[in-house]
Structure 1
Amino acid sequence: MTSMPATDGGEENEFHAKYTVINDQLIRSCIQLKQIEHDDGTDQESKTMRALKLKRDTMDFALIEHLSFSFKKKLDLSFNKITKIEGLKGLKNLKYLSLFSNDIEKIEGMEDLMELKSFSIAKNKIKEKSSIQYLRMFPRLGMVTLYDNPVCEERDFRNMVLAFLRNLKFLDYRLIEEEEVQTAKERFHNELLKVSDNEEQYAQNQEEDEKKLLEEQLLAKANIAGIDDLFDEMFECEADETIKIFNYCTADIIEKYRTKFTDKKDEFKMEMINSSRNKDNELEELYSTLQKSQYETNSSSKTLIKEFEKKKKEIISNVKEMTAESEEEDLHQLDLLDRELDILAEKLIEVEVNQSEAFWEVIEEFLPNYREMDCTSKIQNFFKKLKKIEDKYSIELKDRLMDQVTTIAEDTNEKVKDILEDKDQLFTLVQRSKEAHKEIIGQKELKLIQNEKDRMLFTVEKTKKDEHERNRSRISEIWTFVERVKEEIEETRKFIISPEEYYED
């Protein structure tokens, strides 16, 4: 017997709305505050309420007003007269989406829904087969409902769906047999080959893009963003435009320059990346040491508080149960508790002061070591090497062009002839190119040095600021605790002196 999954409540009960596009307002309408009370489903009103319950997630929207809807796993937008699929960006965790009975003509706008498992778009106006092929991108899609769309009337429609949607288990609530899938794939063999080739190329491009992005992030973290583009930037400057007409005789010199430049650049990249990792390791060691120290201190403070809370609970309980022989004895016990609270506060403050001093000792030891990791000198040395390579290139370029002056061929380009016949113009071109290259190199150097200083300063200042805030927060916690207990003691004292007034309050 063919098994069938349960249908959505939204597809069983029409729920008309004025919305025509999917937006935050429409998604909000699918979230409500109150749980619908349990019913036995015997009367029509109860059935309607149960249907609405299926359409709504029970959640207070006010709690998530300023958050994205990325947490959503189910979304039912059936019977809403929607004409276009849009507004679903960011719903990365959505697994179940129903657009049943709308006015949608094309399946689109769902690129972020990579976790989608169940999709219903039956009773719409889907016409093109391309909409079905669009669903192929969802790797976990196991259930699709498509009936009552114009595209369903297309010849071999069902076979196309089975062939293109790889992990489909149910189509229009019917379990798909493996034999059906194999038959469908055979019928659409050529189309699938073409699609597979495109998907492989796309996957390869995606992988390359991801690698490039990771490389860019690594370089940015190491303060060398854009370093791989520096050589091309130099030779794309305006001063090199005229020099390019001599490529027929200078290409080997430029290539030689590029090789030397790349060698120095790659060495520099490794230095900076290693320095970045060393900085990270130093920071991790610092935070680990601080956390361990803080854990030990917190344990000590918790023990003190726990012992005090036990005594406080016992005293206040005895007072309220009137176990003492006199009122004076009860008040005396509360006075003792109050004094013990003051002693506890002093001890907690002392623990925190010692903790803060220990923290600062660790931080003061960390800062000199971290500052030694400043890469300013590495940056300066690297760019100094680049400038030397540029000087050598400039000399070789001038010599090569001077050689051309003495061997101007008759078929030489007229513009080239004019420059070669004017040595002053030739020297000016070479000099302008050199100056432009050095200016670009110098600007990059200054930028990296400033970035390095800013980053070092930020890390140092943030480390200090974090400790100041931690200390301030801890002191505030201690005094808040003390004030709360003192209020409790005063309330208990009030109970002893005038119980009638205490109960009136």
Structure 2
Amino acid sequence: MPVSLERLIAEVEPAVVTDELIRDCIVTNLTWLDLSFNKIQAIEGLSTLTRLQDLSLFSNAITTIEGLDNLPNLNVLSLGSNQLPRLECVSCLVAFSRLQLLNLAGNPLAKEPDYRGYVLSHLQQLRYLDYRRVLSADRATAMEQHQDEMLELREREDAAAAEKAAAAEKAAHAATMAEANLTGIDTLLDDMAAADPEWPKLSTVPGLLEPWSDVRDKWQVATDEFKLVILDAHSRKKAEQAAFKAALSEALAERDAEAKALLLGYEKGKKALLRSMAARSADPEEQVLGAKVKLMALHEALLGLEVDAVEVVAGLVTEFDRCYSEMAEANKLQYNAYFTQVRDLQNNFFAALVASSPSYLERYGSAADNFELEALPEEVAALLGDKDALGNALQTSHEAHISVLDGLEDRLVGREIATANSLAESNNTWQEQRHRERMGELLSYLERNMQDLEALAADAADAAAEAGEAQ
């Protein structure tokens, strides 16, 4: 993407190592840290020390082991002489596969009769515990003593890992669907039923909603096909965006390279001018005038590069916006076709319910000896005993389903077009801002260097005047 003129100028000068840079490098690359004897009550503020290998928190007031999740390289950990109360505190260290030395001596948990066996069975990666070497026999004994507990722990860990993986997969799928503008498609039929105030009553009538299973089967087929089409279009949109950004970067990088070469040439000439004027090897006025001519020539050349860049960027933006808008319009047609399919399924389902309603009215009737009717909830029985009430319930149900369908279609189509329009607007805003900033940089560079040359000329004139007076 575009590089500012100031950065191009900076790149022709030696890099500067700042105090802030040094501090950042020290902190992010820290491998050893001793925080002993500090009255620390909670482990905090270590999340950026991802390369930390050796950490000492000896003799503090820590009551729980936490705040270490971002330290995967931890090899040595000293938590001796703290206030860790229970053996269960060490369970969170199981994930630290590189941890070889652990010190917990001086904590309340270390006074437990089974302290060493418990820790060694749970942290099998340890080679030293409380600065005592862990022998293979000690580890084997600990594992045997805690075999049932470790099996149960492993089962819980496996279950938790499976649950976490399932949640991550579900979240990733939801994110993909949202990114592709498919939110609500997977749950459409469930959402239709959930928004239907009559659905709970109608679903208690034996056999009445059997056609819904056929609707669900056909909807699933249509939905799978629709998702494939939209996801493929989404992939093509992402590829188009990537190609657009790459083309922009390449075009601007070429012109930035030319600008950098021009700037480097001028800066070298400026340094040569300073040396020449210091040596008074030529007429200062002529030298400054020549430098001004070169500065104006540089300015014109940089302006030419910017004009060229504006034309190239505008062409790339226009072409990208056209392609992206065409894909959005094509997607709009796909949305319309899909929702028409689902709407037809709903209409057919409603027609089937209306057609079957007389048989249900006749079957259940209102006779006192109708045991099937008596087995139903009172409000459902009343519904089946009233033709108008049943018809109204079916109509209300149908309208609720159609409302959900229409609402989702409007949201997805609206979002598809709005995204394309927003992207086009942001591209135009960006290219206008880029041009304004570059023109401001060019003008600032010209004014600053012109002032420098004027100052040089004034200094030379003062020096000449002083020399004349001295004679």
Q: TM-score range by the shorter chain?
A: 0.7 to 0.9
Structure 1 residue 241, shift from structure 2 partner: 2.3
Say which of 68, 72, 78 aligns to 2:36: 78
- Return 267-276 or 85-94, whichever deviates more: 85-94
Task: Assess, with a 3 A threshold, how the Cα gap between structure 1 residues 264 and 305 changes in structure 2: closer, same or farther.
Answer: same
Say which of 420, 442, 455 aligns to 1:456: 420
Q: Which residue of 2 aligns with 1:439?
A: 403
Give yes or no for contact 1:216–1:225 (8 Å, CA) kept in 2: yes
Q: Which residue of 2 aligns with 1:390?
A: 346
Say which of 491, 499, 502 aligns to 2:455: 491
- C-alpha distance in 2 between matches for 1:73 and 1:501: 64
Structure 1 residue 500, shift from structure 2 partner: 9.4
Give yes or no for contact 2:203–2:209 (8 Å, CA) kept in 1: no
Matched, 1:421 2:388: no
Q: Which residue of 2 aligns with 1:93?
A: 50
Matched, 1:410 2:410: no
- C-alpha distance in 1 between matches for 2:86 and 2:432: 63
Structure 1 residue 431, shift from structure 2 partner: 0.6
Structure 1 residue 79, shift from structure 2 partner: 3.0
Q: Which residue of 2 aligns with 1:342?
A: 296
Task: Assess, with a 3 A threshold, how the Cα gap between structure 1 residues 344 and 268 changes in structure 2: closer, same or farther.
Answer: same
Task: Assess, with a 3 A threshold, how the Cα gap between structure 1 residues 149 and 333 changes in structure 2: closer, same or farther.
Answer: same
Q: Which residue of 2 aligns with 1:308?
A: 266
Sequence identity, in percent?
Answer: 26
Q: Which residue of 1 aligns with 2:440?
A: 476
Task: Assess, with a 3 A threshold, how the Cα gap between structure 1 residues 323 and 480 changes in structure 2: closer, same or farther.
Answer: same
- C-alpha distance in 2 between matches for 1:89 and 1:444: 45
Amino acid at match of 2:332: T
- C-alpha distance in 1 between matches for 2:222 and 2:103: 60
- C-alpha distance in 2 between matches for 1:87 and 1:458: 41
Deviations 1:196-224 (A, max 9, x none): 11111111111111111111110010011
Matched, 1:239 2:203: no
Give yes or no for contact 1:88–1:112 (8 Å, CA) kept in 2: no
Q: Which residue of 2 aligns with 1:294?
A: 252
Amino acid at match of 1:452: E
Give yes or no for contact 1:92–1:114 (8 Å, CA) kept in 2: no
Structure 1 residue 308, shift from structure 2 partner: 2.4
Say which of 307, 312, 315 aligns to 1:353: 307
Task: Assess, with a 3 A threshold, how the Cα gap between structure 1 residues 351 and 266 changes in structure 2: closer, same or farther.
Answer: same
1:40-189 alignment, distance < 5 Å: 76-83=34-41, 85=42, 87=44, 93=50, 95=52, 96-108=54-66, 114=72, 116-189=74-147
Structure 1 residue 107, shift from structure 2 partner: 3.3
The DSSP-based 3-state class of the residue aligned with 2:347 is helix
- Return 389-398 or 298-307, whichever deviates more: 298-307
1:242-391 alignment, distance < 5 Å: 242-246=201-205, 248-324=206-282, 329-374=283-328, 375-391=331-347
The DSSP-based 3-state class of the residue aligned with 2:339 is helix
Task: Assess, with a 3 A threshold, how the Cα gap between structure 1 residues 358 and 496 changes in structure 2: closer, same or farther.
Answer: same
- Return 180-189 or 454-463, whichever deviates more: 180-189
Structure 1 residue 488, shift from structure 2 partner: 2.6
Task: Assess, with a 3 A threshold, how the Cα gap between structure 1 residues 166 and 148 changes in structure 2: closer, same or farther.
Answer: same
Count matched residues. 433
Task: Assess, with a 3 A threshold, how the Cα gap between structure 1 residues 71 and 432 changes in structure 2: closer, same or farther.
Answer: farther
The DSSP-based 3-state class of the residue aligned with 1:144 is strand
- C-alpha distance in 2 between matches for 1:143 and 1:159: 15
Task: Assess, with a 3 A threshold, how the Cα gap between structure 1 residues 349 and 86 changes in structure 2: closer, same or farther.
Answer: same
The DSSP-based 3-state class of the residue aligned with 2:204 is helix
Amino acid at match of 2:358: M
Give yes or no for contact 2:47–2:67 (8 Å, CA) kept in 1: no
- C-alpha distance in 2 between matches for 1:432 and 1:470: 56
- C-alpha distance in 1 between matches for 2:465 and 2:81: 70
Give yes or no for contact 1:93–1:115 (8 Å, CA) kept in 2: yes
Deviations 1:42-83 (A, max 9, x none): xxxxxxxxxxxxxxxxx879x99xxxx999876654334344
Deviations 1:426-446 (A, max 9, x none): 111111000001111111111
Task: Assess, with a 3 A threshold, how the Cα gap between structure 1 residues 500 and 144 changes in structure 2: closer, same or farther.
Answer: farther
The DSSP-based 3-state class of the residue aligned with 2:60 is coil
Amino acid at match of 1:305: L
Deviations 1:369-388 (A, max 9, x none): 21101122222222121111
TM-score by length of 2: 0.84
- C-alpha distance in 2 between matches for 1:402 and 1:70: 76
Give yes or no for contact 2:43–2:62 (8 Å, CA) kept in 1: no
Task: Assess, with a 3 A threshold, how the Cα gap between structure 1 residues 174 and 458 changes in structure 2: closer, same or farther.
Answer: farther
Give yes or no for contact 1:239–1:436 (8 Å, CA) kept in 2: no
- C-alpha distance in 1 between matches for 2:121 and 2:136: 11
The DSSP-based 3-state class of the residue aligned with 1:119 is strand
- C-alpha distance in 1 between matches for 2:420 and 2:68: 43
- C-alpha distance in 2 between matches for 1:277 and 1:89: 39
Structure 1 residue 267, shift from structure 2 partner: 1.9
- Return 427-436 or 188-197, whichever deviates more: 188-197
Amino acid at match of 1:241: P
The DSSP-based 3-state class of the residue aligned with 2:187 is helix
Q: CA RMSD in A?
A: 2.8
Amino acid at match of 2:183: A
The DSSP-based 3-state class of the residue aligned with 1:167 is coil
- Return 103-112 or 201-210, whichever deviates more: 103-112
Give yes or no for contact 1:253–1:393 (8 Å, CA) kept in 2: yes
Give yes or no for contact 2:104–2:110 (8 Å, CA) kept in 1: yes
- C-alpha distance in 1 between matches for 2:408 and 2:463: 78
Q: Which residue of 2 aligns with 1:14?
A: none
Give yes or no for contact 1:92–1:115 (8 Å, CA) kept in 2: no
- In structure 1, runs of 5+ residues without a counterpart are 1-58
The DSSP-based 3-state class of the residue aligned with 1:245 is coil
Structure with more relative contact order (C-alpha pairs < 8 Å, separation 6 or more): 2
- Return 405-414 or 208-217, whichever deviates more: 405-414
Structure 1 residue 135, shift from structure 2 partner: 2.3
- C-alpha distance in 2 between matches for 1:351 and 1:79: 62
Amino acid at match of 1:392: N
Structure 1 residue 87, shift from structure 2 partner: 4.8
Amino acid at match of 2:121: A
